[in-house]
Amino acid sequence: MTSTGVPAVTPMPMDGLDAQFWSAQGQNLLLGAIAIIAFLAIVALIMYGADLIKGGARDKVQLVVLVTPVLGLLAVGLIYPALDTTWLSFNEITNEPDPDTGIFTTTMSFVGLDNYRFAFSDPTTLRTILNTFVWMILVPLMSTGIGLAYAVFIDRAKGEKVLKSLVFMPMAISLVGASVIWGNIMYDYNQVGEQTGMLNALRALVGLDPYNFLVDDPWNTFWLIVILVWIQTGFAMVILSAAIKGVPVEQNEAASLDGANAWQRFWSITIPSIRSTIVVVLTTITIMALKVYDIVRTVTQGRNNTDIVANKMYVLSFVEGREALGAALAVILFVFVIPIVIYNVRSLNKVRETH
């Protein structure tokens, strides 16, 4: 057990858990508790304070109290930053010594589309954008396809609830956890010796050579995509399964009497009835696939041409200090989702009109 060089057992167990550790953790927990109590107390105080007002102003003040926190936070924390990022993406930030004083000063200068021009001409960044596009197409299609197939196969089967839970469970696992599961356990590759990765062990079992999943460009992007599909299939399955159960039995019966087989009924009755739900699932997963950076960061850190915009944006902005280019990539991500925003707002308005 305790052989060469690997400190499997540290000499002094629980070394790190001294009094200082516990007092720091205690303080943090206390901070959290106080924050929650103070927050609730302030909300209650302001709400009841607004209730003391007499006369016609009362309703107006209370309305302001109800909506201001959300509108204020969104305006300051989401809308203004989004506009600011967009502006930043048309600028260049330079940090150079002032010719007269020699003091380093940060200056922002408008450069138009330069950052975008760079993003689409630099081969690494362009590849990053193309990879993101592949994620955006494959993740929703695969998750929805597999989720729908599974939902149909187990519909009204014995133990349906348990079977659903099995596929749904990865939803509770973090993307980092899933990345460890696949990157470190399933895709593991050893040049020599026993294959410790599950998939390579399976390959060895049927006599195939071990395969380096995470290095083989361009397929490595596909293997990373599988990780997100693994997480998202449960989501698609649960939503689609609920929709399938809403399809009237009578329609299926009638088609059955007309001699339609299961496959024909699936395509001519089930699919059309749940079409709008399929669209919602596809769009939701598309947006998810665009934003996810955890998988690439955890498994490959973008090596071997696996980088995607979300990860590159993080690295540029917060590691390499090239914020303007990072901003341009964030805007490119947003441009990818604009059609979905428009589509969603349209369907929301349609539903609101019918109410």
Partner 1 sequence: MSVTMPPQEPVDEDVETKPDTRSRAAKAKEKLTSPWATLAAIIIAVFWTVPTVALFMSSLIPGDRYRTDAWWTVMADGDLTFENFTTVLFDSFGDNSTAPPLLEYVFNSIVVTVPSVVLPVVLGLMAAYAFAWIPFRGSSFLFVLIFALQVVPLQLALIPLLRILGPENLGIAGEFPGVWIAHTIFALPLSVFLLHNFVSHIPREVLEAARVDGASHTQMFFRIIIPLSLPAVASLAIFQFLWVWNDLLVSAVFGSANTYPLTYPISNLAGDYGQYAYLVPPAAFISMIIPLIVFFSLQRYFVRGLLAGSTKG
Which residues, 235 to 294, sit near partner 1 by CB under 8 A?
Answer: 235, 238-239, 241-243, 245-246, 249, 252-253, 256, 261-262, 265-266, 276-277, 280-281, 283-284, 287-288, 290-291, 293-294
Please say which residue, 95 or 99, places its beta carbon nearer to partner 1.
Answer: 95
Q: Which of 125, 144, 221, 233 binds partner 1 (CB under 8 A)?
A: 233
Q: Which amino acid is at 280?
A: V
Q: Which amino acid is at 324?
A: A
Contacting range for partner 1; rule: CB under 8 A; set: 34-42, 102-110, 123-131, 134-142:
34-42
State the minimum distance, in angstroms, from the CB of residue 342 to partner 1.
9
Q: With binding defined as CB under 8 A, does residue 313 bind partner 1?
A: yes
Q: Which of 131, 232, 300, 306 binds partner 1 (CB under 8 A)?
A: 300
**45 φ/ψ angles, rounded to the nearest 5 degrees:** -60, -50
- Cα(139)–Cα(226) distance, rounded to whole angstroms? 8
Pairing mode, strands 91-97 and 104-110: antiparallel
Reported for 79-82, long-range contacts at CB under 8 A and 24+ positions apart, including other chains, are 82/334
Q: Which of 193, 205, 206, 258 binds partner 1 (CB under 8 A)?
A: 193
Please say which residue, 41 or 100, places its beta carbon nearer to partner 1.
Answer: 41
Q: With binding defined as CB under 8 A, does residue 62 bind partner 1?
A: yes
Question: Which of 61, 65, 119 is CA-nearest to residue 89?
Answer: 119
Q: Which of 57, 79, 108, 208 binds partner 1 (CB under 8 A)?
A: 79
Please say which residue, 87 or 219, places its beta carbon nearer to partner 1.
Answer: 87
Question: Which of 122, 115, 64, 117 is CA-nearest to residue 86?
Answer: 115
Q: With binding defined as CB under 8 A, does residue 113 bind partner 1?
A: no
Q: With binding defined as CB under 8 A, does residue 321 bind partner 1?
A: no
Helix-helix angle 19-51:57-74, to 10 degrees: 150
Residue 300 in contact with residue 227, Cβ under 8 Å?
A: no
Q: Which of 165, 218, 268, 320 binds partner 1 (CB under 8 A)?
A: 165
The residues that bridge with 106 in the sheet, in sequence order, are 95
Q: Which of 111, 134, 141, 163 binds partner 1 (CB under 8 A)?
A: 163
Q: With binding defined as CB under 8 A, does residue 116 bind partner 1?
A: no
**Helix runs in 52-122, H state only:** 57-74, 80-88, 114-121
Q: With binding defined as CB under 8 A, does residue 234 bind partner 1?
A: yes
Q: With binding defined as CB under 8 A, does residue 333 bind partner 1?
A: yes
Q: With binding defined as CB under 8 A, does residue 85 bind partner 1?
A: yes
Q: Which of 145, 267, 318, 320 binds partner 1 (CB under 8 A)?
A: 318
Total site size for partner 1, rule CB under 8 A: 152
Contacting range for partner 1; rule: CB under 8 A; set: 94-102, 110-118, 137-145, 319-327:
319-327
The tokens for 207 are 């006599």
State the minimum distance, in angstroms, from the CB of residue 38 to partner 1.
10
Q: With binding defined as CB under 8 A, does residue 17 bind partner 1?
A: yes
- Cα(147)–Cα(158) distance, rounded to whole angstroms? 18
Q: Which of 45, 77, 94, 108 binds partner 1 (CB under 8 A)?
A: 77
DSSP 8-class letter at 291 = H
- Cα(228)–Cα(136) distance, rounded to whole angstroms? 11
Residue 144 in contact with residue 281, Cβ under 8 Å?
A: yes
Q: Hey, which bits of the chain come out as E strands?
A: 91-97, 104-110
